[in-house]
Amino acid sequence: MPLIAFYILGAIVALSAVLVVAARNPVHSVLWLICAFFTSAGLLVLIGAEFLAMLLVVVYVGAVAVLFLFVVMMLDVDFVELKQGFQNYVVSGAAIALILFAEIGVIAASIGPGSNATMDPSPGADTNAEAIGAVLYTDYLLLFQLAGLILLIAMIGAIVLTLRGRPRAKRQNIAEQTGRKRKDAVELRDVRPGEGV
């Protein structure tokens, strides 16, 4: 049963990964990418790593891909022109693909064909989340914190790059707006007919 599920999910992942590249419409590409992410989360559930699966969905599908879609929809890029440069990237793209396949091959070879090694999604703990937390916050605490720091720097960098001081920009002071009272804004006048204010 899990084997059937694995083959179905794997086929969907592979197919949607191909379609990410093959789709003509960039928005469709992103949608196929989301499909690939989501199905990979299903694969993770299949090996019992439910915590990782949920994180994959929250982070990649729920946040990263939303921004991706956002940008692709907003940008008015001429994709026909972009596709014409395709040949220039073939060599580097093929090299990356080769390296990735080699890595998978090395791992597969180290396990060896026909070995009955099974995967343990939560070594030394009851649940997946506990196992990951125990490793992240003890053995790799420094690296984990460093990764967070790098992300923080990237975030600040993005803000600094896009922040331009626009002196004439219109800004609202919310405290001033909500602190406004009736007597500062409205005045009741007794107007006589035909005389005006």
Partner 1 sequence: METLIQWGGGVWGGIGLAVLQIAAFLLVLLLGIAFLLWMDRKVLAAVMMRKGPNVVGPFGLLQSFADFLKFVLKEIVIPAGANKTVFLLAPILSTTLALVTWAVIPVAPGWVISDLNVGILYIFAISSLGVYGIIMGGWASNSKYPFLGGLRSAAQMVSYEVSIGFVIVTVLLLVGSMNLTDIVNAQAGGFWNWHAFLLTPEKLPLFPVMFAMFVIFFVSALAETNRPPFDLPEAESELVAGYQVEYSSTPFLLLFLGEQVAITLMCALATILFFGGWHAPFPVPIAADLPAWLTSLGSFAIFVVKVVFFFFIFALVRALVPRYRYDQLMRLGWKIFLPTSLVAVIVVSAYVVFLQPGMEA
**Residues within the interface to partner 1 (CB under 8 A):** 1, 25, 27-28, 31, 34, 41, 50-51, 54-55, 57-58, 61-63, 66-67, 69-70, 73-74, 127-129, 172, 174
What's the min distance (Å) between Cβ of 73 and partner 1?
Answer: 5
Helix axes 26-46, 65-74, angle to 10 degrees: 170
Kindly tell me which of 66 and 153 has the beta carbon lying closer to partner 1: 66
Kindly tell me which of 25 and 84 has the beta carbon lying closer to partner 1: 25
Kindly tell me which of 101 and 137 has the beta carbon lying closer to partner 1: 137
Distances (CA, A) of 68 to 30, 54, 131: 7, 19, 31
DSSP-assigned letters across all residues of 112-145:
-TT------SSTTSSSHHHHHHHHHTTTTHHHHH
Q: For residue 165, give the amino acid letter.
A: G
What's the min distance (Å) between Cβ of 28 and partner 1?
Answer: 8
Kindly tell me which of 74 and 91 has the beta carbon lying closer to partner 1: 74
Q: For residue 85, give the amino acid letter.
A: G
d(CA 50, CA 47): 8
